[in-house]
Amino acid sequence: MTDRRRFLATTLAAGAAALPGVSCAGSAAQAGKRRPRIVSTWDFGVAANQAAWQVLNKGGSVLDAVEAGARVPEADPKNHSVGRAGYPDRDGRLTLDASIMDGNGDCGAVAAIEHIAHPISVARRVMEKTPHVLLVGYGAEQFAIERGFPKEELLTPESEQAWREWLKKSEYKPSANSENKTYGKGKPGDANNHDTLGLLAVDAQGRLAGACTTSGMAWKLHGRVGDSPIIGAGLYVDNEVGGATSTGVGEEVIRTAGSFLVVELMRQGRTPQQACEEAVRRIVRKRMKTARDLQVGFLALGRNGEVGAYAIQKGFTYAVCDSGKQDALFDSTSAM
């Protein structure tokens, strides 16, 4: 048993009791509810949740909390799928996507932004300081610089080396679950690493916010934008219902308006778990031939704190944080 496996097993044993309303691996049980609560995608979601929890715990808003959480993987030099040190596109350029949304409907996003270490904070400025929702590319970078964000080289020597390795074969075949340390291949050059931090928070009053940030698919075409900065695809939050976020092959999530779909299914009465399952099934039905090589995962949080998660393939992990436990990590159930 790997260290992570052991941690998961321990967490599940303790977490199943300590985290009512959380759907644990292999179980769709949704008994009980607890809020405030924060959930986020992948193993790196644990640290992101903890940063968000600190903000919430000190009386900060859900919006402040999700921004603080998203900044953690964005700053992590060991994380090659979000922010600084992300893997670049096929031209060797690191372009970042991020979005933020308040449960009252306000939202902001940046896509294919370069040289700015915290795209989530730029997305929030777009939301709060402009009449727009989405800024892209050079325009987004200029906007950030004008607002005082430092212009930086974000490509680390390690990420550049991985890109040079990839160039030798130049194969583009996205691999699943790179941020799950057990399943992810994560080897520079031979795996097209991707993954996204999607984070959702609900406070004691049932107010929600969400954040989503990624460097997208490694070795993508320059200019490619995934689901993460597209409101309704990578992220959607509504105080009346709950929120959803996604990770995996963004093109499939955009095609199904995935996060919006999950929230709308919840609005119609599905639990967060059922809504995530239905959204995944729609993708699988349309992609029968390729689904086996495809990973998409959805994570949802109801306004009452109920959690759901589901993915096409095994290996999608998500982190849950509330007053009972701040470091819980779960394996989602999956279609395959």
**Which residue lies nearer to ligand ASP by CB, 127 or 191?**
191
Shortest Å distance, C-beta 323 to ligand ASP: 29
Instruction: Name the segment binding ligand ASP (CB under 6 A); options: 102-110, 201-209, 243-251, 259-267.
Output: 243-251
Interaction of residue 228 with ligand ASP, rule CB under 6 A: yes
250 near ligand ASP (CB under 6 A):
yes
Binding flag, residue 258, ligand ASP (CB under 6 A): no
Q: Taking CB under 6 A as the rule, does residue 247 contact ligand ASP? A: yes
Nearer to ligand ASP, 147 or 222 (CB): 222
Check residue 292 and report its DSSP letter.
Answer: G
- Please give the helix or strand (H or E) that residue 311 lies within, else none: strand 307-311
CB 151 within 8 A of CB 138: no
Write down the least CB distance from residue 227 to ligand ASP, Å: 5
Closest by CA position to 11, among listed 236, 249, 327, 336 = 327
Which residue type sits at 25?
A
What's the maximum distance between 2 C-alpha atoms anywhere in the chain?
A: 53
Binding span for ligand ASP by CB under 6 A among 10-18, 30-38, 148-156, 213-221: 213-221
* DSSP run (H or E) holding 250: helix 250-255
Whether the link from the prior residue into 36 is cis, omega within 30° of 0, is yes
Secondary element (H or E) of residue 64:
helix 62-75
Q: Which is nearer to ligand ASP, 30 or 159 (CB)?
A: 159
CA distance 45 to 326: 11
For ligand ASP, the closer of residues 149 and 298 by Cβ is 298
Binds ligand ASP (CB under 6 A): choice among 69, 108, 248, 302: 248
Q: Is 74 a binder of ligand ASP (CB under 6 A)?
A: no
Interface size with ligand ASP, residues (CB under 6 A): 13
Are the beta carbons of 311 and 295 closer than 8 angstroms? yes
Contacts (CB under 6 A) with ligand ASP, residues 12-71? none
Q: Which is nearer to ligand ASP, 71 or 80 (CB)?
A: 80
CB 31 within 8 A of CB 273: no
Out of 21, 216, 232, 315, point to the residue binding ligand ASP (CB under 6 A): 216
State which residue, 23 or 95, has the beta carbon closest to ligand ASP: 95
196 is catalytic: yes
**Residues 6 or more apart in contact with residue 333 via CB below 8 angstroms:** 23, 25, 26, 27, 28, 277, 309, 310, 311
Site for ligand ASP in 177-206 (CB under 6 A): 194-196
Please pick, from the candidates 73, 210, 226, 243, the single residue that binds ligand ASP as defined by CB under 6 A: 226
Contact status: 214 vs ligand ASP (CB under 6 A): yes
| Pure H helices in 88-172 | 119-129, 137-146, 157-169
Query: Can you say whether residue 31 is alpha, beta or left, with left for phi > 0 and alpha for psi between -120 and 50 degrees?
Result: beta
Site for ligand ASP in 115-134 (CB under 6 A): none
As given in the structure block, the two tokens for residue 44 are 């790196």
Active-site position among 11, 41, 196, 317 = 196
Write out the catalytic residue numbers.
Answer: 196
Write out the residues near ligand ASP by the rule CB under 6 A: 194-196, 214, 216-217, 226-228, 247-250
